[in-house]
Amino acid sequence: MRFMMLMIPKGYESAEPGATPSADAVAAMMKYNDELQKAGVLLACEGLHPPSVGARVSFVGGKPKVTDGPFAEAKEVLGGYWMIQVKSKAEAIEWASRCPGSESEFIEVRQVQEMSDFPSDVQEIVEQYPALQELGHEDKRA
């Protein structure tokens, strides 16, 4: 099973571009990432630049609308994420609990959807999506 651990730092919604955490915080986080790596559960992890240099795309009336950050109404924004591979939600939560998070941040744990989670009619729709390789290519078999 795969889970995302979404880091949500309070105040990041108004952080200036180029804002970086303290050296101590970075060191603690690196050590944590190393533990995830050593346990064989880490698939990916990245930090995100703050919303002040981001953009939002909405779809009012079916047309895309772009709004540049920062976003005044946003109360919680993503700071970064981990994707981990574990045997249960409880295990994902345990790993999230071990993160050296500060008082002003929290992690949301969300399971990644797998193809097999979807009902068969949805799976068949995905199946029909054109492949990246060219269609009508003859004799692709090795």
Partner 1 sequence: MGQADAERAIQAVFRIESPKLVAALARLVRDLGLAEDLAQDALVAALEHWPGEGIPTRPGAWLMATAKRRALDALRRNKLLAHKHELLAHELEAEQSRTGGALEAALDEPVGDDLLRLVFTACHPSLSADARVALSLRLLGGLSTAEIARAFLLPEATVAQRIVRAKKALADAQVPFEVPRGPELAARLSSVLEVIYLVFNEGYSATAGEDWMRPDLCEDALRLGRILAELAPQEPEVHGLVALMELQASRMNARTGPRGEPILLLDQNRARWNHVLVGRGLTALARAEQLGGTLGTYALQAAIAACHGRARSADETDWPRIAGLYAALAQHAPSPVVELNRAVAVSMAYGAAAGLTIADALADDPSLADYHLLPTVRADLLAKLGRLDEARRELERAAQLTKNARERTLLLERARSLTHLPSAVAPRT
Query: Which of 59, 66, 132, 136 lies at the binding interface for partner 1 (CB under 8 A)?
Result: 132
- Tokens 């993160």 belong to which residue? 99
* Residues 3, 91: Cα–Cα separation, whole Å: 10
33 to each of 48, 86, 134, how far by Cα in Å? 16, 15, 40
**Torsion sign, CA atoms 38, 40, 41, 45:** positive
* Residues 28, 81: Cα–Cα separation, whole Å: 16
Residue 85 touches partner 1, criterion: CB under 8 A: yes
| Strands 80-85 and 42-47, sheet pairing | antiparallel
Residue 26 touches partner 1, criterion: CB under 8 A: no
Query: Which of 57, 60, 72, 142 lies at the binding interface for partner 1 (CB under 8 A)?
Result: 142
Quick note: the x/- pattern for partner 1 over 91-130, rule CB under 8 A, is x-xxx-x----------------xxx---x--xx-xx-x-
Neighbours of 67 (CB within 10 A): 10
Pick the piece of the chain touching partner 1 (CB under 8 A) from 3-11, 17-25, 37-45, 99-107. Answer: 37-45
Residue 135 touches partner 1, criterion: CB under 8 A: no
Binding-site ranges for partner 1 (CB under 8 A):
37-41, 43-44, 83, 85, 87-88, 90-91, 93-95, 97, 114-116, 120, 123-124, 126-127, 129, 131-134, 137, 139-142
